[in-house]
Structure 1
């Protein structure tokens, strides 16, 4: 049985558009911003294949980001984004002299995204 366990890294950025109701705005987050707000992250791939060419594969990626911003008149705004992706699959290796080797697989992918936003208005000006 051949087994592989591979931790890996991915450099990422975000470039797109966001909207809330009828308000649209561009959204751009570069890699440095993501790295500066990264609390924890890991990525791990697992493969195990039997001599019969049947096997299992799994891929797990997790990222936890947070940011806090304070403005004297508005209070403290906290944001936290957590994302987890888990893929599991049953796989079968095949090969052909003319095409080479490939893997057919069937599996499941689960996305687990959590977004938390909190505005602490303790510093809002008090009415007289």
Structure 2
């Protein structure tokens, strides 16, 4: 039987190429980008200078006073083992009348402007189990808060405008559990806990379901909450919980 030299040459070229292509597919990066909205509530208290203020922000207040917002998440994983996670939420709220108590001046009327940005940057290692996959996470949560107050006395003889521009970094560790319920529905649960130089405690939790439309998009229906207890022991303290229902659209590539 005669062997065609062209077939031998073709096999020599094709076999290594096919093996290389399969190796590249196995070791490729997989990314996702999500844009989401949050029916946000913020409750707690803050200190700006010597003024103490109760924080009570609900979705109605945000819709009435929102000037700017952005909420996005970017994630990638390599060979279904090592990955990264970036989540950034930002909002700017316009002023509103409120009553605050100053340690030295007593009860005052106030206009309040709030700008809050929170960036989470995490790396993770994924392990697969019979009950799903677990990502063991480590990283930082960066807080960037600007609070402007305009304080006036009841008789108009006090007019102050204290403002704070405060940012800090907390170090966090956590885990995320992901499991397929059906071909289309996925359940996820994640949480973390951490500390910082002036942070007594910070923590977050997110749980919900993702619905796959196809291979490249899904819908995220979840609940998200973040707590922080920060005090620089000088002119700013921030002890709040931010929480609410989350709706997001994820794109995969």
Task: Give the TM-score taking structure 2 as reference length.
Answer: 0.39
Q: 1:119 to 1:27 in 2, by over 3 A?
A: closer
Q: SS where residue 62 of structure 1 aligns?
A: strand
Q: 1:60 to 1:17 in 2, by over 3 A?
A: closer
After superposition, give the CA deviation of every residue in 1:11-47 in whole Å (9 maximum; x if it has no partner). Answer: 0224456789xxx886543311111100001111110
Q: SS where residue 95 of structure 2 aligns?
A: strand
Q: How many residues align?
A: 113
CA RMSD of aligned residues (A): 3.0
> Take 2:53 and 2:78, find their aligned partners in 1: how far apart are those partners?
51
Matching residue within 114, 120, 134 for 1:81: 114
1:47 equivalent to 2:80? Answer no
Task: Give the TM-score taking structure 1 as reference length.
Answer: 0.73
Q: SS where residue 61 of structure 2 aligns?
A: helix
> Take 2:142 and 2:46, find their aligned partners in 1: how far apart are those partners?
23
Query: Which residues of 2 match residues 105-120 of structure 1 at below 5 A?
Result: 105-119=137-151
Residue equivalent to 1:60: 88
The structure with the largest alpha-carbon Rg is: 2
1:32 equivalent to 2:60? Answer yes
Q: Which has the higher helix share?
A: 2
Residue equivalent to 2:127: 94
1:105 deviation in Å?
1.1
Q: Give structure 1 stretches of 5+ with no counterpart.
A: 70-76
Q: SS where residue 35 of structure 1 aligns?
A: helix
Which stretches of structure 1, 4 residues or longer, exceed 4 Å deviation after superposition? 15-20, 24-27
> Take 1:18 and 1:120, find their aligned partners in 2: how far apart are those partners?
18
After superposition, give the CA deviation of every residue in 1:84-121 in whole Å (9 maximum; x if it has no partner). Answer: 00111111111112x32111111011111110113589
Q: Give structure 2 stretches of 5+ with no counterpart.
A: 1-28, 98-109, 158-253
